[in-house]
Amino acid sequence: MPSEKEQFQRDLLESAKQMRSGQATRITQLEPQQTAGGAVDVSLRLPVDVIERWKATGPGWQQRMSDLLSKTAP
């Protein structure tokens, strides 16, 4: 049985062969989807303590965070 490293190398080579032959699936980037309120879903990395403090303010913390960001936006 091949080691994990050997299996990874085999899989990587197989993927490269598929890419060269056009067998790989093309990935397309989607435009951000707006929600009903005109908001856009984003991914943002924040310190854990910041999120914990916001969550500690209770239900609706996401809206309060959004409101504050809107007020302080350049």
Domain ranges of the chain: 44-74
pLDDT for the residue numbered 29: 65
Question: Is the predicted pLDDT of residue 28 greater than 70, yes or no?
Answer: no
The answer, as to whether pTM is greater than 0.75, is no
Angle at 19 between CA 18 and CA 23, to 5 degrees: 55
The pLDDT tens digits for 49-74 are 999 999 999 999 999 999 999 999 88
CB 57, CB 64: distance < 8 Å: yes
Q: What is the mean pLDDT of residues 6-25?
A: 79
| Residue percentage of the chain with pLDDT more than 90 | 32
Q: What is the mean pLDDT of residues 4-22?
A: 82
% helix, strand, coil for the chain, step of 5: 50, 5, 45
